[in-house]
Amino acid sequence: MELVYAVCVGFMSTCGIFLMLRGHTFTLVIGLTLLSYAVNLFLFASGGLTIGAPAVLSSSENYADPLPQALVLTAIVIGFAMTAFAVILAMRGRADLGSDHVDGIEPFDPLAEDKS
Amino acid sequence: MHYFWVPFLPMFGIIVPLLANKLNRSACTLATALLPALALCLIFLDLPAVLAGESFSKSIEWIPQLGLSLSFRLDGLAALFSILILGIGLLVILYARYYLSEKDHIGRFYCYLIMFMTAMLGIVMSNNMLQLWFYWELTSISSFLLIGFWSHNSDARKGARMALTITGAGGLALLGGIILLGQVVGSYELDVVLNSGELVKQSPYYLAILSLFLIGAFTKSAQFPFHFWLPHAMAAPTPVSAYLHSATMVKAGIFLLARFYPVLAGTETWFVVVSLTGLFTMLLGAYTALFKHDLKGLLAYSTISHLGLIVLLLGLNTELAAIAAIFHIMNHAVFKASLFMAAGIIDHESGSRDMRKINGLWKYMPITATLAMVASASMAGVPLLNGFLSKEMFFTETLEQSILGSMSWLIPVLATIAAAFSVAYSLRFIHDVFFNGEPKGLTKTPHEPPRYMRVPVEILVAICLLVGIFPNYTIGPLLESASLAVFNHALPEYSLSIWHGFNFPLLMSGMATMGGVAIYLNRKHLFKFSGMFPDIDAKLVFEGCIQASVAWAQKITMKLENGSLQRYAFCLCFFALLLIAPPLFDLDTTRGSLPGTPINGAVLVAAILIIAGSLATIIWSHYRLIALLMLSLVGLVVSITFAYFSAPDLALTQLSVEIVTVILLLLALYFFPQQTPTSKSRPSHFVRDLTVASFIGCIIGSICFALMTHPLDSISAFFLANAKTGGGGTNVVNVILVDFRGFDTFGEITVLGIAALGIHKLIARMRLSVRTKDYAGRLWAKDKYPVLLSVVSQSLLPLFLLISAYIFMRGHNLPGGGFIAGLITSIALIQQYLAHGVDWMAKRVSVNYHYMIAIGLTIAGLTGLGSWIFDRPFLTSWFEYVSLPWIGKFELASALVFDIGVYFTVIGATLLILASLGKLTTTERLTVGER
Amino acid sequence: MSLFDHLVIFPVLIPFFVAVALLFPGLSNSLSKQRVVSITANILMVVVAFSLLFKVEAQGIQVYALGDWSAPFGIVLVADLFSVLMVCLSAILGLAVTMYASAGEDKTGAFFHTLIMFQLMGINGAFLTGDAFNLFVFFEVLLIASYSLMIHGGGKQRTQANIHYVFLNLIGSSLFLFALGTLYGTLGTLNFADMADRIPLLSSNELLIAKSGALLLLAVFGLKAAMLPLHFWLPKAYSTTSTPVAALFAIMTKVGIYSIWRVHGVIFGDQAGELANIALPWLWPIALLTIAIGAIAVLASKSLRVLCSNLVIVSVGTLLVTISLNTVQATSAGIYYLLHSTIACAAMFLLAGLIQQQRGQAEDRFVAARAMPQAGVLGFIFALLAIALIGMPPLSGFVGKALILQSVTNASEAMWVFPIILVGGLIALIALSRAGTSLFWRTNGENTSALKGHPLQYLAIGLLVVILPLMVIFGGPVSDYTQLAAEQLKAGLSLQQLNEVAK
């Protein structure tokens, strides 16, 4: 199980980072969201995985590590704030710069250049 | 003990001219001269003791960490230099009053001048090396200001910059040397340093120290190869050239050599390097001076040559050389200053400095001419003048030294040649300017200057004669004590008389004089000869170098900062990869001791969904809507995962955040092109990014795995133990959020609030073109707000609110809490927005969402403050079980109030974001068409 | 527990409450009231910061256990001399910036004063907190505030620069969380002191994992500090944003430096057993490269604000050198230099604002233009700041530089540090002298149309400039403070000591 979990986290972060390395703001925002999922799962797992033992007292004997959960909660909220800001900033960029490329202008197309 | 005040008087004097500027020029001049004059008197008060061979020093702690102390000394050398600085300084002040024209800001000029005087005094009187450096740099700065005084003229600007750059560079080198020296000796106080010469010469750092010091000295004293800045410093007003660039500042380097003579001198390296540099500079200067048509140019190069002479003397390995050097320092200062002033007068009264134009001034300004001729005779080393004496001593020493072993005879020969040239250019100065026919094409007819403008020259020339004729009575004692300070031990025997009988030095002088005359007579051929060489303008070369390096720097910077975020982001990721990877390579296995929990179908499905979803997001990242859907699928699975691994709070939060995020992204997508233009980034980049991303992914995955399988003794046990007793809640996660780590939550809602404000800021000025058609070119649906939706959502609203209230209340003990409740409420409200539109809502809901954020934050903050009343730190929680009739026993907790704060902030922020975004869709509909 | 005992948290709470108060109806719709309030608040902050400084000097390190939960379970604020010095610095900057902005630049967008306050709250929190995750939270506070402040006033360039800044930092934040997860997963705690205690107890495997976590933090802080190769965002961001914001940002890079100092210089410092000084092998070359590249960029700069931004990078490199020298003396020198360079750079940014507004079309670019109406006073201030930034006497720059050079004792290090720092200084000298001559001396005609600087603006600049000579005149006491701060920092703080202090 841990293995599967780890694989998922790794894969998600790969996709997230890859998308964050792309050139268009909206893609970056999607990548950011994906990456933050990965981050949250990672942070969550840092206390180990527990099944069927939520950290609500007197519901069972052994409890899941509550601290990472609290941290993840905070992380989620902050992540939400950041994502929201990022997406609006992306819109602002498109409004001001007329393009949704991160550098404000579409880079020249090397392939097109080859054709010419 | 008056000397300690000497450096301070001029320091206070710096502001005087600025204050006195209001008065007329003469009054301003007097006021300026006052404090330096006073300082000079103080020196004279202490002089007798100094001449008796005493040396005072006094120091006050300043920055002990640095070893910098306010520390001054007065010994022969210091006294000699301070007298030169203050004496000539006073004369220059007087001279400048007549030299500067009405439109020059004389107050500012004097201010800079006195600033320089202060710095110079500081150098010569410092008893602490760092303090010496402190003043050393000040001279560079003030000379920059003085050279650039006529800032409107480009030569002045360039010359000033060049001087500053060269001397500044030297200064930095000197700092390095001083700090090394201080580390070797263990102190920066000169008293200590000067007496530890042996220690220094033994130390491995000696060469480094020596070279750094020499760079410092040579740049300042315009020694080859750093000599080129001096001629261009002549763009300064002539009083400045007279003062800084002949008498004093350029002597600072020589002073440095003299001051540290006991510490650094006496080794083979010193003798060879110093003497040869001096020799070469002397020859170069003397030769070049002859061909300069500009009066000041000639004097500048002759200054270079004389400085070279002095440096050469300091580099000779004979006992008397240093004494001769000091003697020549004084003499040169005197006659060169007077010559510059004379040149200034000529320039001032004839309107030109070009020796091809100004000829035969004898009949226009006989007195000035006489003075100038005496001075230049002294420069040429004619008997009965001070120049002659030091030159004789110089010749004697060149004969005594043995630096170049068997080839040592070269030095006296070359010395004689240089002397011959100096005779030649002195002759030219006299003959070209005052005789040699009539002036050609002068703008005005030359005439004698105002009476007092000539006084400084007269005084200096008088000194030339007095010293020249009665050396022993005039300068003898001072020279002796100064040399004593340099040697730092008993002086060898030497005599200061005009006549030493017929001997080699006399012969050399004779040859030099005759040679000089010969050279001058045949100057035509020489001019032709030198004319064959292209004359290089050091200024242009220097500027060229700077320009080139700037261009080079710009090329590099352009290459690095190419303005592509993708490049920067890659750098970040790659750098992170480099940092985290290596430790894991040393790790033999990531699997820890814990037994793995068995895999089951549900998890597998979830995993597959996540992977597939992420993959799809990437693959279809160009079709943004689809990518978004895929993303939300992943998000959903993630929240399920949380639920599965016993984190109900997380699941709930993730879910609600998920919903809000997706709504937000959908709204945003409305303003974006539906598709990303097919990637124009090079395939190589694609591969590059994919590689680094997957490496990081692998590493994160393995770390994650390792963490899950390693046993962990964490602080969590405490939370489980104290949640109920100390936090009054059974939902430990929530208790941590609002109590144990409430401060995090406090910061977190702040972040949310700020984000909302920032977004409002972003949207406020946003002008977006809104598309009227969707990507397939279909018009948007006519009915803006589908009836069904509006009805349903409206009826759902109360239910939602009820749920959120419930979620909120139970939060402390069961999964839930302010944040989730807040999100649910806001979702409900957003739904109203979606269903009825912004305007409809605006009519009904008249809350300003900033206020709501503010209220939320205030509640949270005040709850925190509340604990102060009970003498507890910020955010200390309080809870009590109260029982009311009918309702029964229930809990009141401050944490709950805090959670209310969270609740409001969340609603305020979320709605501020979405509502203001929503507004765009309506108010901006006017603008039509894709951009 | 008197009000005085809560002093430690004031630097975080005052800006918070003021910021919130500025949102309420009474204030939010009257800029003049906002100005009065926030300037007063900033003055109060300065007072609080300095009284905290004296308190710490008198009574030693102060610990404030939030929610009355002792470390490592609760979050604690730790005020030692270093952190308090930084708080003082931010308070002074805050005051200057607010005064400058109150002359009019706060008009050009919403919520300016609120955001500045939140920014200060984040910065102070980051300086004071003794908890790793809380540090993350405050990083986010100051980041989100800075995101919003950077686009204050609007404009294409700002949006453009902001996009780069924001997205890079978003990646940075994610990495931060990965690192925190890793550290918590191995050490099982978040409190700095507790971490330091637990590191030696780790098993060999956990050590390696913790190591990569710690090194990942270096990347995160490095991004904030703008060290090579993560510095690319800085010049554009700082040179395009509005003047007061740029000036305030002068301290942002220092937050990164500060965190590196705390985490890699102390927690993973000499006492960390197996993991002692893991960051040094990286920091050493990076520091020197940062200076070198920064200096080249300084030479290449075409406008004053860009030049100043690159000087910030050089100063970051210099500070990294002092960190990697890893001695008390070097640390002390570093702290002194930090105070000096932050103030000098901030002042230069403010000055650049005035110059730009008085030179019309030419703005602050190094081209010939009409003379500025107030060229005299501006030129004077420029000269002072240039001297300070180059590191020439009589201003504080030379003390910092000399202290740093002195702290380099062994030859192999000196061989690298001496030339690079000295040549760096020379380049700064060349660049700034060229800048000065072309800004103030290469003029044609008088520019009468340009608006003169507002007294408040001069007051703000003056406030900062005055500090530079004072740091020399009172160099003795100041360097004693930095020395003490360095000793406290390097000594480290075990959990036990922490809790004793807390009592």
Residue A113's pLDDT is: 45
- Which SS3 state, helix, strand or coil, does residue B731 take? strand
Length of chain A: 116
ipTM, two decimals, is 0.95
Residues of A whose CB is below 8 A from B673: 100
- The tokens describing C300, both together, are 């290449």
Judged by CB atoms closer than 8 Å, whether chains meet at C181 and A20 is answered as no
B471: burial class by Cβ within 10 Å (0-12, 13-18, 19+)?
buried
In this prediction, the residues of chain B whose per-residue pLDDT falls under 70 are 1, 678-681, 768-785, 887-890, 921-931
Judged by CB atoms closer than 8 Å, whether chains meet at C151 and A92 is answered as yes
Cα separation values, B81 from B248, B477, B482, C471, Å: 8, 14, 9, 31
Chain B contact for C332 (CB, 8 A cutoff) = yes
Rounded to 10 deg, the angle between the B295-315 and B249-259 helix axes is 0
Q: Do C132 and C195 meet the contact criterion of CB atoms below 8 Å apart? A: yes
Q: Do B576 and C216 meet the contact criterion of CB atoms below 8 Å apart? A: yes
Q: Is the pTM of this model over 0.80?
A: yes
In this prediction, the residues of chain C whose per-residue pLDDT falls under 70 are 1, 447-450
Whole-angstrom Cα distance, residue B921 to residue B823? 23
Given B646, B661, B693, which is nearest A18 (Cβ)? B693
Judged by CB atoms closer than 8 Å, whether chains meet at C159 and A35 is answered as no
Cα separation values, B859 from B157, B283, B897, B900, C474, Å: 62, 85, 7, 7, 44
Judge if the upstream peptide bond of residue B225 is cis by omega within 30 degrees of 0.
yes
Q: Which residue of C has its CA nearest to B170?
A: C426
Q: For testing the chain A interface, which of B646, B681, B754 should be mutated: the one with the most A CBs within 10 Å?
A: B646
Q: B879: which strand partners?
A: B893
* Separation in Å, CA of A88 to nearest CA in chain C: 11
For C496, residues 6+ apart whose C-beta sits below 8 A from its C-beta are: none
* Separation in Å, CA of A116 to nearest CA in chain B: 16
* Separation in Å, CA of A36 to nearest CA in chain C: 7
Judged by CB atoms closer than 8 Å, whether chains meet at C181 and A42 is answered as yes
Given B137, B762, B764, which is nearest C393 (Cβ)? B137
Residue B928's pLDDT is: 38
Residue B805's pLDDT is: 87
Chain B contact for A86 (CB, 8 A cutoff) = no
Q: Tell me the pLDDT tens digit for each residue of B432-488.
A: 899 888 888 788 888 889 889 999 999 999 999 999 999 888 888 899 899 888 887
Residue B432's identity, in one-letter code, is: D
Q: Tell me the pLDDT tens digit for each residue of B27-59.
A: 999 999 999 999 999 999 999 999 988 888 899
Backbone angles phi, psi at B236, to 5 degrees: -70, 160
Chain C contact for B867 (CB, 8 A cutoff) = yes
- Which SS3 state, helix, strand or coil, does residue B679 take? coil
Residue B680's pLDDT is: 58
Judged by CB atoms closer than 8 Å, whether chains meet at C297 and B561 is answered as yes
For B153, residues 6+ apart whose C-beta sits below 8 A from its C-beta are: B235
Judged by CB atoms closer than 8 Å, whether chains meet at B752 and A80 is answered as yes
Q: Do B84 and B463 meet the contact criterion of CB atoms below 8 Å apart? A: no
Judged by CB atoms closer than 8 Å, whether chains meet at B638 and A49 is answered as no
Residues of C whose CB is below 8 A from A74: 133, 137
Residues of A whose CB is below 8 A from B815: 54, 56
Given A45, A78, A89, which is nearest C140 (Cβ)? A78
* Separation in Å, CA of A32 to nearest CA in chain C: 8
Chain C contact for A2 (CB, 8 A cutoff) = no
Q: Which residue of A has its CA nearest to C184?
A: A46
User: Taken in order B461, B464, B468, B470, is the CA torsion positive or negative?
Assistant: positive
Residue B222's pLDDT is: 93
Q: Which residue of A has its CA nearest to C133?
A: A71
Q: Which residue of B has its CA nearest to A20?
A: B569
Judged by CB atoms closer than 8 Å, whether chains meet at A39 and C178 is answered as yes
C410: burial class by Cβ within 10 Å (0-12, 13-18, 19+)?
exposed
Whole-angstrom Cα distance, residue C193 to residue B367? 84
Judged by CB atoms closer than 8 Å, whether chains meet at B704 and A76 is answered as no
- The tokens describing B225, both together, are 């190869």
- The tokens describing C501, both together, are 């202090």
Chain C contact for A34 (CB, 8 A cutoff) = no
Residue B774's pLDDT is: 62
Whole-angstrom Cα distance, residue C373 to residue C362? 14
- The tokens describing B226, both together, are 């750093």
- The tokens describing C140, both together, are 């986010």
Rounded to a whole number of angstroms, the distance between the first and last alpha carbons of chain B is 83
Residue C2: CB atoms within 10 A of its CB come to: 8
Whole-angstrom Cα distance, residue C150 to residue C248? 11
Q: Which residue has the higher pLDDT, C134 or A23?
A: C134
Chain A contact for C223 (CB, 8 A cutoff) = no
3 state SS for C438-498: HHHHCEEEECCCCCCCCHHHHHHHHHHHHHHHHHHHCHHHHHHHHHHHHHHHHHCCCHHHH
- Angle in degrees, CA C196, C333, B188, rounded to 5: 135
Chains near B (3 or more Cβ pairs under 8 Å): A, C
